[in-house]
């Protein structure tokens, strides 16, 4: 009975291991420049619509400031951004999401601010002015969650 089972298993393996051709003939390259995006394709336009630059938060500041540039064709009236804060060892210190009402016409830039996560004023953004007293530097990343424009 064991020998019969072993022979049956070996036959099943042999059948499944038969050669299969995986190459295709007559393939032609696609011209990437001629490709178009389908009308129902979901695209993340937030990165193209809104650009965040110039983040700053000195040690003694109650606010974090940054510049928001509207690269779209309509006025941005609100946005939601998540900031993630990291120490010099790249360990996360905090994360905060902010919904910000604003009015940024197409092609223009505005300075915006949010309340600082650093309530004890013991951290400073590593690109800000170096403080006179001892403090810990941090870095920040951002994610644009949504943009409302009219």
pLDDT digit string, tens, across residues 67-111: 999 999 999 999 999 999 999 999 999 999 999 999 999 999 999
What total of structural domains would you count in the chain? 1
Assign residue 94 the CATH number of its domain: 2.60.40
For residue 22, is it within any domain? no
For residue 119, is it within any domain? yes
For residue 27, is it within any domain? no
Contact at 8 Å (CB) between 119 and 60? no
Q: Cite the DSSP H helix spans in the chain.
A: 2-16, 46-49
pLDDT digit string, tens, across residues 37-62: 433 333 445 557 899 999 999 999 99
For residue 92, is it within any domain? yes
For residue 13, is it within any domain? no
| Cβ partners under 8 Å of residue 112, min gap 6 | 65, 66, 67, 68, 100, 102
pLDDT digit string, tens, across residues 30-43: 544 444 443 333 34
Strands 123-125 and 109-115 turn out to be unpaired
For residue 12, is it within any domain? no
| Cβ partners under 8 Å of residue 107, min gap 6 | 70, 71
Overall pTM > 0.85 = no
| Gyration radius of the chain's alpha carbons | 28
- Domain extent, residue 105, equals 46-149
Average of per-residue pLDDT across 1-19: 63
Alpha carbons within 13 A on the beta-carbon side of 16: 6
- Distance, in Å, from the CA atom of 105 to the CA atom of 20, rounded to the nearest integer, reads 60
For residue 122, is it within any domain? yes
For residue 105, is it within any domain? yes
* The pLDDT value given to residue 149: 85
Average of per-residue pLDDT across 14-22: 57
Range with lowest mean pLDDT among 17-21, 86-90, 93-97, 114-118: 17-21
């Amino acid at each position: 009975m064991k020998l019969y089972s072993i022979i049956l298993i070996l036959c099943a393996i042999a059948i499944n291991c038969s050669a299969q051709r995986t190459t295709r003939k007559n393939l032609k390259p696609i011209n990437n420049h001629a490709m178009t995006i389908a009308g129902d394709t979901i695209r993340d336009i937030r990165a193209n619509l809104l650009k965040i630059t110039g983040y700053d938060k000195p040690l003694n500041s109650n606010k974090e400031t940054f510049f928001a540039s509207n690269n779209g064709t309509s006025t941005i009236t609100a946005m939601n951004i998540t900031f993630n804060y990291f120490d010099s060892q790249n360990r996360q210190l905090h994360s905060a999401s902010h919904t910000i009402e604003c009015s940024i016409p197409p092609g223009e830039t505005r300075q915006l601010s949010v309340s600082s996560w650093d309530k004890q004023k013991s951290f400073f953004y590593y690109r800000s002015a170096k403080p006179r007293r001892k403090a810990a530097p941090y870095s920040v990343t951002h994610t644009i969650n949504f943009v409302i424009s009219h």
